[in-house]
Amino acid sequence: MVAELADREKAILILGPLGEGTEAARLAREKKVPILVFTQQEGISRDNAYILRDYLTIRAQIQALADYAVTRKGLRRFAMLYPGDNGGREAARLFREEITRRGGRVIRERTYGRRQSDFTDEIRSLAGVKEAYRREIVEPEGTIEIAVSPTVDFEAIFFPDSLGPAMLAASQLADLQLQGVRMMGLSSWNQTARVRTGGSVMEGAVFTDMFCQNEPSRTVQDFIERYYAATGREPGSLEAMAYDGMTLAVRTIVNEKPGSREELRRMMIANRDFRGVSGKLPFAPDGESRRVAMILKITQGQIVPVRE
């Protein structure tokens, strides 16, 4: 597809693909056409004068979470519950690193299988909860037994998995009566419709992304309305990101009139003040995205930007 767009269509810039972009990057260099790839794969633009990379990396998301939790909210003690595969372990490593750098501590962690749907045992282990957590009280009338909510020694739990497993884990946290534990996650939780219909169990959870449908900006709301009118569905982060990439390219072409494909890429990198519906879109000199993640919170079935 890259070769066809470059040779037959004479494209000055290609938007996409989504995800793995190594082969597209190779063809872009071969055909000497700039390409804006949407991938979390860091370093793909290194030593390639035709690549621009945009997407929030896991590292950028975790840095934003750590800043919010430790620096802004003053939390110090964290637990992690994460998949035991490479992706889960890498997210956990980055979270531990960024939390520690800011003066916090990860004091509990457990892994689980990628297809697992019951996290009760792992949560019990994190919280130090036994099978029964009841207390006997001796009264003049006799001994009575009451349920006692367990007390945990961490303030938040990092759960780097998609929204479905996160909702299951949140429900099981509630079943165990673990009070005051905040859930923290990544951009895969940004599913407005699903949170609207079943997200009450995630009340108060925070996560990161670059786009929020409840952002009050007129620019964002205009984009959402126009996208819905054209497609019959609401846009997500990918649609917002692609729209911003296209907008930046068109503005650069119209306003600055680059004389070549290479010059277009250089001009897009130099345009550090561009702000689109998904926030600011700065690039490093090598074409790597330097996006900063925003913090989002689930409140009363809505996903809203965090301002405090």
Instruction: Average the pLDDT over each of 18-27, 41-50, 132-141, 173-182 and give the range with the smallest value.
Output: 132-141
Structure tokens at 287: 């074409």
Determine whether domain 2-55+236-292 maps to CATH 1.10.3720.10: no
At the top level of CATH, which class does the domain 59-209 belong to? alpha beta
Please tell me the least confidently modeled range out of 44-48, 158-162, 290-294, 296-300: 44-48
For residue 10, name the pLDDT band (cuts at 50, 70, 90): confident
Tell me the mean pLDDT in the region 36-64.
85
pLDDT at 149: 52
At 128, the pLDDT band (50, 70, 90 cuts) reads confident
Residue 255: φ, ψ to 5°: -85, -35
Does the pLDDT at position 308 exceed 80?
no
pLDDT of residue 213: 95
131 confidence band (pLDDT: 50, 70, 90): very low
Q: What is the pLDDT of residue 20?
A: 63
Residue of 3 and 269 predicted with greater confidence: 269
Mean pLDDT of 4-12: 63
| Rounded average pLDDT over 175-196 | 91
Instruction: Map the chain to HEC letters.
Output: CHHHHHHCCCCCCEEEEECCCHHHHHHHHHHCCCEEEECCCCCCCCCCCCEEEECCCHHHHHHHHHHHHHHHCCCCEEEEEEECCHHHHHHHHHHHHHHHHCCCEEEEEEEECCCCCCCHHHHHHHHCCCCCCEEEEEECCEEEEEECCCCCCCCEEECCCCHHHHHHHHHHHHHCCCCCCEEECCHHHCCHHHHHHHHHHHCCCEEEECCCCCCCCHHHHHHHHHHHHHHCCCCCHHHHHHHHHHHHHHHHHHHHCCCCHHHHHHHHHHCCCCEECCEECCECCCCEECCCCEEEEEECCEEEECCC
Domain ranges of the chain: 2-55+236-292, 59-209
Q: 137-164 pLDDT, tens per residue?
A: 445 555 555 555 556 789 999 999 999 9
- What is the pLDDT, as a whole number, of residue 9? 56
The rounded distance, in Å, linking the Cα atoms of 173 and 122 is 10
- Would you say the CATH fold of 59-209 matches that of 2-55+236-292? yes
